[in-house]
Amino acid sequence: MAKIKIVHYINQFFAGIGGEEKADYPPECRQGKIGPGMALEAACKGEAEIISTIICGDTYFNENIDKATDEILEMVKAEAPDLFIAGPAFNAGRYGMACGHIAAAVQERLQIPSVTGMYAENPGADMYKDKVYMISTKNNAAGMRDAAPKMAALAMKLAKGEEIGPSVVEGYLPNGVRVNFFEKERGSKRAVNMLLAKLSGKPYTTEYSMPAFDRVDPVPGVKDLSHAKIALVTSGGIVPKGNPDHIESSSASHYGEYSLEGVNDLTAETYETAHGGYDPVYANADADRVLPVDVLRDLEKEGVIGSLHNLYYATVGNGTAVASAKAFAAEIAKKLLAAKVDAVILTST
């Protein structure tokens, strides 16, 4: 019986090409298995082989999503595999975004079964777990020994057309699909066992996960604005002309910090939006429409506010994972507290 043919996708780091200094590495297809592909192929127990490995730098992929996707799809198509595996990406954000996007694209556009794997809090998981099977991994590469067999087992089931069990059995991240099946124990007994485990502090797994909403209690309002330092933060993508930090137009992996020293007006010659989720014409013509520096300077002169903080923070909310946004907010908040900012105006689009 012929072996199942696999094409494997990895980034520049796992390919042994380099770290961040090589993150702009363009897509390349090499024959055979490389790096983590060795563990994945071994976990297939002789039933499959990795015929080729596609390598792409994380920055290249995320800054050229459409172009990189088309390039990689052509490489996969040329190899004509039975199966496509991406990663695992663990908790590497840009790598996770790339793995999720390309695995979903291969599955949708080439009709080839695809599997990837990453840590539950990877922004790629938030974006793509409902589009492609995604094995839950540990948060770093030390979890490769655990991840490879699970990814291989699920991938082989997909390649053979076998029935895929629930996430708690197969090890993939819950994707919102509910399937009826028979449990060995009746519901009342399972419920009591879960309650007993919870009361005694032992681990247990709920059978009906509820969404977890992050609720923040509002702080008291600023009593005296005339002596308050006000900062601006935006998810509307307002950046200096040319987007020097290369903030992505969608699914942003980072934010920018920019000086407002001596800036009274955001002109079309000096500022623009990097956002890809709304018509940029009006924002590019006058970025103050999204980030109201001009109005706050007027209020500063009039004594309505004490001062405008000399730095502002910007990212793009379009498609950006909740986990990424929370991480950005935590970092920015620390900087604002250190600068003794009294209040923040957060603008979007």
Q: Give the C-alpha distances (Å, rounded to integers) separating 159 from 115, 143, 272.
A: 10, 24, 47
Residue pLDDT, tens place only, 45-90 = 999 999 999 999 998 998 899 999 999 999 999 999 999 999 999 9
Q: How confident is the model at residue 338 (pLDDT cuts 50, 70, 90)?
A: very high
Q: Where are the domains of the chain?
A: 4-170, 225-347
What pLDDT was estimated at residue 305? 96
Query: Which amino acid is located at 139 in the chain?
Result: N
β-bridge pairing 133-137 and 238-240: unpaired
Is the pLDDT at 297 greater than 70? The verdict is yes
Residue pLDDT, tens place only, 227-250 = 999 999 999 999 999 999 999 888
What pLDDT was estimated at residue 266? 96
Q: How confident is the model at residue 286 (pLDDT cuts 50, 70, 90)?
A: very high
* Percent share of the chain, pLDDT over 90: 74
What pLDDT was estimated at residue 292? 97
Q: What are phi and psi of 278, to 5 degrees?
A: -150, 165
Residue pLDDT, tens place only, 142-191 = 899 999 999 999 999 999 999 888 887 888 888 877 767 778 889 899 99
Q: How confident is the model at residue 218 (pLDDT cuts 50, 70, 90)?
A: confident
Q: Closest Cα partner for 290 from 271, 262, 270, 311? A: 271
Q: How confident is the model at residue 262 (pLDDT cuts 50, 70, 90)?
A: very high
Q: How far apart (Å, rounded) are the C-alpha atoms in residues 158 and 145?
A: 21
Is the pLDDT at 20 greater than 90? The verdict is no
Q: Which residue has the higher pLDDT, 207 or 255?
A: 255
E strand segments, the chain: 4-10, 28-31, 48-55, 83-86, 114-119, 133-137, 229-234, 238-240, 256-259, 271-273, 307-314, 343-347
What pLDDT was estimated at residue 222? 92
**Structural fold of domain 4-170:** Rossmann fold (3.40.50)
What pLDDT was estimated at residue 205? 80
Q: Closest Cα partner for 287 from 349, 343, 346, 230? A: 349
Average pLDDT of the chain, as a whole number:
92
Is the pLDDT at 323 greater than 70? The verdict is yes
Is the pLDDT at 1 greater than 70? The verdict is no
Q: Which residue has the higher pLDDT, 104 or 327?
A: 104
* Mean pLDDT computed over 115-140: 91
